[in-house]
Amino acid sequence: MAFKKMTLASMLPSCFMSKNPSSEPKKRATKQISPQTLSFSDLSDTSLPLSVDDLSGSLMSNLHVFTLAELKAITQNFSSRNYLGEGGFGPVHKGFIDDKLRLGLEAQPVAVKVLDLDGSQGHREWLAEVKFLGKVRHPHLVKLIGYCCEDEHRLLVYEYMSRGNLECHLFKRYIASLPWLTRIKIALGAAKGLAFLHEEEKPVIYRDFKASNVLLDTDYNAKLSDFGLARAGPQGDDTHVTTRVMGTQGYAAPEYITTGHLTTMSDVYSFGVVLLELLTGRRSMDKGRSNREQYLVTWAKPLLKNRPKLDRIMDPRLEGQYSTEGAKKAATLAYQCLSDNPKRQTNNE
């Protein structure tokens, strides 16, 4: 825990320093936490009830239960014009809730995620998401507004994040490049979201931290999304939990892939990969590059501690407009997150 707290919560703010020597780093905002206790212990049980009736009354008070007809109406029958994208869960459509839809629900744009019955995720992941995000509110976790469970249909309704996801901003050439300070702001927000999950009395391991799961609001505030693969961390004297290897290739920690042993440090490794993507503007995996450069970590990690060569890996779309000292600090943090020995990381701090 000490490593994560020192690096993700303390080292990143110093990267806000600009080239102007009179500039001062922004102060880190005080973390806001949910008054409720997080718990994913029920998700580690393979006998998890598959009925929505398992959702508790206290959880239901935070969420709205929508009908399928209501969600069809607000998305114009899931029109292609409202299509936002698709992930492992299924397609996502934009919708708009007006103040007449139901009492107590304010008018607002929303994102409606529809479970693809033939996709890689299913009811268990849908239920995990409902149970988790129904219990917690945090500035750097996407807000779940409600859900729908009718017959075989499983849908989730979230706050609408107008800037989309980080992956698009980094890798879609028709979108303007993110400025340096915006990249650091996004990294800091994502780090706060992970720290919140890890530092609870019962830690939660996100298990699928990647650029496409970091959503951005109008002001480029980062919020983590898609908690279907999250699970309870080790309890008591346990050092890890053993699970079936899940997640996304290129982001998953090597020790987790080889052993199935999952810890909060698995998320820290994934954070290091995304931080590398922010620094370099390159994907974690890119089969279109030469063999030596296809895997971002393999290519970039040796250069992270070589200060004279650091400029060679920085995203050319930044056009040199970044804090040299901030880039060095971010590179050092990425290197620590990507350590081959996560136990040594913790002990060093």
| Rounded Cα gap, residues 67 and 286, in angstroms | 41
> What is the CA 111 to chain-centroid distance, rounded?
16
Reference 223, options 162, 142, 165; nearest CA is 142
Paired with 66 in beta bridges are none
What sign does the dihedral 78-206-191-142 (CA atoms) show? positive
| Rounded Cα gap, residues 148 and 72, in angstroms | 11
Show which residues are catalytic: 208
| Rounded Cα gap, residues 315 and 319, in angstroms | 8
CB 222 within 8 A of CB 189: yes
| Strands, E assignment, 75-171 | 83-86, 91-97, 108-114, 144-150, 153-159
| Rounded Cα gap, residues 215 and 225, in angstroms | 7
> What is the CA 53 to chain-centroid distance, rounded?
28
